[in-house]
């Protein structure tokens, strides 16, 4: 089970890389107001959801516990990210503020994950 959990933490990190990496590639365009939600961002956000939910299950199966409030907050933040990226996925240009909000929420979720124990 430990190996399984570690593998899924690895996949969870690949998900963050895709979501945040996609955002970072668009930062210059964001300042010009021409950024778009690239497919890597949508797929990264979906990867976070699937691997995160499975990680909660694996931890519980292992007899351990997760911090439900922390997970609830991470899940709520991710839902907002996912909803925005999904709805606007086909738009050629996304407004600067909206695009920036998705990047900020992603970074917030990373710090919630590493600072809240």
Residues that bind ligand HEM (CB under 6 A): 5, 9, 12, 16, 48-49, 52-53, 55-56, 59, 66, 71, 74-75, 78, 106, 109-110, 113-114
Long-range Cβ contact pairs of 60-63 (< 8 A, separation 24 or more): 61/1, 62/1, 62/2, 62/5
Question: Tokens 């964001």 label which residue?
Answer: 30
Question: Tokens 């190996």 label which residue?
Answer: 3
Query: Closest separation between CB of residue 100 and ligand HEM, Å?
Result: 16
Outline where the chain has alpha helix (H). Answer: 2-25, 27-32, 39-61, 68-87, 96-115
Q: Which is nearer to ligand HEM, 28 or 116 (CB)?
A: 116
Query: Closest separation between CB of residue 83 and ligand HEM, Å?
Result: 13
Give the side-chain half-sphere CA count within 13 A for 107.
8
Query: Closest separation between CB of residue 9 and ligand HEM, Å?
Result: 5
Q: Which is nearer to ligand HEM, 38 or 113 (CB)?
A: 113
Q: Which is nearer to ligand HEM, 34 or 101 (CB)?
A: 101
């Amino acid at each position: 089970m430990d190996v399984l959990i570690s593998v899924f933490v690895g996949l969870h990190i690949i998900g963050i890389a895709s979501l945040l990496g996609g955002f970072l590639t668009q930062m210059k365009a964001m300042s010009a107001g021409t950024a778009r939600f690239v497919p890597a961002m949508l797929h990264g956000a979906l990867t976070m959801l699937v691997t995160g939910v499975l990680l909660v299950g694996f931890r519980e199966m292992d007899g351990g516990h997760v911090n439900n409030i922390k997970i609830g907050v991470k899940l709520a933040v991710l839902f907002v990210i996912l909803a925005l990226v999904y709805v606007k996925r086909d738009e050629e240009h996304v407004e600067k503020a909206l695009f920036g909000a998705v990047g900020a929420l992603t970074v917030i979720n990373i710090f919630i994950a590493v600072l809240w124990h």
